[in-house]
Structure 1
């Protein structure tokens, strides 16, 4: 197994174990989802920043692998992080997330698909492909935020 594959496996396993542990302690699913999604979106923002910096400074693209993997791992969790009741508390999510779940799901799937392509582009070492795919992933974020996030 390549190092990237091991990292991804460990990241996903850790997230699943952490989520399972929280639910086994009786943490409210809606409150937990809100916390996990806030942390996940913040980590995703930082990962985007790290990739952007590498692209702008001409750094070694292999340094973007962990960030791309992190974005993709989180993208897979997004649909489950908006259960009923998680619209309460400190959230920027608009009510439309819950009232228009089908469209939200389509946008979340696009985020996942495009972030998986970013992982592949980074692995290829082709800077032009990474730049193009970085923009495509950013476009999925914008499409969702335009409809489902308050600023």
Structure 2
């Protein structure tokens, strides 16, 4: 017959359960807004890095690194940061999302998928170092960003 659990282990487990339950509470709307603002600022910074390279002194590796980050974020589940309750409020600053984003599921899904597709393709093309192809694909990415901003951002 196995030995019973030591009392200290049982007590430690009992004390840890409330902490674990608290740790699994959904994030507050303000935290979700901060996370999405941070993610989109990171995207904007990397898009600016790409733009400066395709418009100026081209550095293939710099473009590839920036495109990898944009693709990772675009495919990383950004939609989960747009939960009900985050239509208004403040993260790092007041949110600029339009309420229609939360009621147009199919439209948002299509635009999100297009952004992820264009970002992934930009990363693939950036790895080739073909500046002409990178410029063309960068334009596709920018159009996907603008389409979402036009419909869902104030």
Give TM class, smaller chain: 0.7 to 0.9
Aligned to 1:31: 30
Gaps of 5+ in 2: 1-21
Compute the RMSD of aligned alpha carbons.
1.6
Aligned to 1:45: 44
TM-score by length of 1: 0.79
- Give 1 or 2 for the bigger CA radius of gyration: 2
Aligned to 1:87: 87
The answer as to 2:148 corresponding to 1:149 is no
What is the Cα deviation at residue 96 of structure 1?
0.5
Report matched runs for 1:2-151 at 5 Å: 24=23, 26=25, 28-76=27-75, 77-89=77-89, 90-150=94-154
Q: Report how many residues are paired.
A: 128
Aligned to 1:12: none
In the alignment, the residues of structure 2 paired with residue 75 and residue 24 of structure 1 have an alpha-carbon distance, to the nearest angstrom, of: 27
Gaps of 5+ in 1: 1-22
What is the Cα deviation at residue 102 of structure 1?
1.3
